[in-house]
Structure 1
Amino acid sequence: MCRDIDLARSVFPVEMRADPEKLALCKGDVTDPTSLSAAIDGVSAVISVHGTFHATPLYKLLIPIFWRTHAPLNCEDVTHPYYTNYVAMQDIVSLCEKYDVKKVVRLTGLSCAMPPYHPVSVLFNALLSFSGRYHRMGEEVLRSSDKVGNFILRPGGLSDAVRDPEKTKLQVDFSGALPPPGRIGRADVADLAVAAVTDPRLAGEGASSDLVAGVRWVGEVAPKTQGDIGDGGSTAEEALSMALAQKKVAPPSVANGKAFALFHGIYVYSFFAILGKLAFFAGSKILPRVMGLLRRFV
């Protein structure tokens, strides 16, 4: 499912575009339950990579938010992360349960593993309309389903670069957490998403129905080397084998709304307090001196 069929079709190889057995596209939007229903009905698995870029308006940073747990009820902008990252996942999970879909693969991000007070978490949530918080809430909706198996991918910084398998490996960690920035190529993330629904160790009978994978490149990564190359595999299958052998389990994805609001408030209001102090200092100390200098030349 995509919003622009022509654009989506252009991404795939020519041989796939001409074969309806290999590629079938339908137009829709994750915020529209009707189009979601049409896309999900009849499939055996769902790979969800949708998201949004929604910058926080400056004036909203100043609104007291200590008591908020969700976006304001009068927020009708469907591109807000509350709707795309959270409400849309509620609809997807509900429809998957209705149509007996066995597996959902969801793409979020490494910041979802960070506590509310982590500077990166606060920065992303403050600038991007609590996008990370609503991603975590969407994860919890998926992980709490007892009818749909899940595989959550948490990459760091996505890149279009091509990985050299001799110098850079792919690391998967089922604790769900890896150190930032966690740079990784989109092609490797795609390979892992496909493996989640085709690899019998992940999709077969007896496979775990709740897996959260922190993923990144390790070894020589521009602009700065990250991790130990020995912790990664050359392919998605090899990286998954190494991760499964470690038998790590990610903690629940619960996103406490009040905790996020509290630490957001502490950081943001402290920033504006310091900014106000600097403005007061500039007005009371520096400005008179500047005016005095100007008077000498007038």
Structure 2
Amino acid sequence: ATVIYEENITLSCQLTDSDDQLTRIIWKKKTRENPEEKFFFSIRSGDKTEHSNGLGNRVQFIGNFAEKNGSIQLLRMRLLDEGIYTCIFNLINSGPFETNINATVFARPVGTVKGEAPVAGDLEVMLASCFASNARPEAEVMWRLGDLENSLRTETNQTVNPNGTVTVGSYLFGIPLKHLNKKNVQCVVNHKTLGEELVLNYTIDIHYPPESVVIIPDSPTNAKEFICTVDSNPEPNDYIWTRKNGSAPNYKGNRLLVPKLSPDFNGLYICFAKNKYGSSLGSLYFNVHNEMAFVIHLWTYLSGFHPLYSTEAAFIVHGK
């Protein structure tokens, strides 16, 4: 008989093909908690019961003495309750009859994924770990990587816990390239106590400094603000807008506010974006006349302001 930890188990025991008078039904056990065989429950005529040796009200008689049915139910099974349970029928003339029942206790795994946040680089690191904890017997853990199957690898180990359960850990390794950021993988846990596989979704998290800054209008025809968009992870925690050779611009976070476009607004505006790994900046030049024309000129920098590349994009917005 098998049961899942903390659930109930029925131990069925009935004597057939005997007309001899039954005097008593006795149960004894030999478990992981106490390998010495001990009596723990008895039933007499009239379904009168007696407990001993520890299980107490966790034992319920569900049989019928008159029908020579000594079945019992054990409640809230613990791992230490696993063992051999013996049902004994005491008869007046033909002596005792007994049968052994092996009770096995399984424990469902608890599945968790622990994410890492490595910084982009060219050395292999751990990207994530997946655990099937406190299972009995041990669970099977695997990763579904899809298109990343050939670029990532896994390692698996297991630890036997003091209570006899097993924790299996599977670790995902790879080179933390920027293109892996936001890629989806799955950790899959299988165990005989689960009706279906347990699927744990995880999105790979690669951190990197700002690598490009692009400034775009909020509207192609009636811009009221210009937005500094940055490719970085995490997002910048600091934005600073400046205007070259002019008054300080009006901005809020990554948004340059332009309540009314006029020649007074002409000039070069710079957005400086920073996260904990580095910084980058982009610039926007305004030239407003009968037609509003603005040119975005973008520089990308590493920490320390060494330029990587420069791009330029021009937009024309017709004024009234």
TM-score by length of 1: 0.21
Indicate the structure with greater strand content. Answer: 2
Structure number with greater Rg is 2
Identify the structure with bigger relative contact order (alpha carbons < 8 Å, sequence gap 6+): 1
Greater helix proportion: 1
